[in-house]
Amino acid sequence: MLRLSKLTDYAIAVLARLGQEGGLRTAPELAAGTGLGEPTVSKVLKTLGHACLVEGVRGSRGGYRLARPLSRVSLAEVVVAMDGPIALTACVDGSVNSCDAEALCPVRGRWNPVNDAIRDALASVSLADLTANPCQSHGRTAPTAPPAVPVAAQ
């Protein structure tokens, strides 16, 4: 099973919260808004800052803000920032001596098209796509609850 790391999942939640609230937000505010621990949020923000996905502002009125709108941040960028290069196996992208069976492996080098497809798929999804109401993204309105039906007295 393919699965994002917890930190990547947390980073997406933090970025989504920053996108919803806008402006500057402190790590404690983001921790409260995401339900994550403050040390975890601080770690995520530091990593996202190094990847230029968030900007930190120092001072008593400081905090963090998005470096660009969520519509211009791809899921692939977040995964790479938090987990490193996107690859299903270690024996891709010109890596050398990453596997003990490398010399005998019958599929050596054949994972590259699969990895490229996954990278392309993740790059095609923006964080705005993830946070949008599914109905709004297709020009529809969100479904409403059906009207309550009165129960006949017995």
User: pTM for this structure?
Assistant: 0.77
- Average pLDDT for 82-104: 72
- Average pLDDT for 86-104: 69
**pLDDT given for residue 148 in this prediction:** 47
What integer best gives the mean pLDDT of the chain?
A: 83
**pLDDT given for residue 117 in this prediction:** 92
Sign for the CA dihedral angle at 11, 13, 16, 22 comes to negative
Neighbours of 79 (CB within 10 A): 21
Phi, psi at 65, each rounded to 5° = -145, 160
End-to-end Cα, the chain, rounded Å: 53
- Average pLDDT for 105-122: 85
**pLDDT given for residue 105 in this prediction:** 78
Dump pLDDT digits (tens) for 118-152: 999 999 999 999 887 665 544 544 444 444 445 55
Extended beta strands in the chain, E state: 54-57, 63-66
**pLDDT given for residue 110 in this prediction:** 80
Query: How far is Cα 51 from Cα 81, in angstroms, rounded to an integer?
Result: 6
**pLDDT given for residue 152 in this prediction:** 52
Q: What percent of the chain has pLDDT over 90?
A: 55
Enclosing H/E stretch for 47: helix 38-50
Dump pLDDT digits (tens) for 11-46: 999 999 999 988 899 999 999 999 999 999 999 999
Q: Where are the domains of the chain?
A: 6-131
Assign domain 6-131 to a CATH class: mainly alpha
Lowest mean pLDDT among 82-91, 94-103, 114-123: 94-103
**pLDDT given for residue 59 in this prediction:** 87
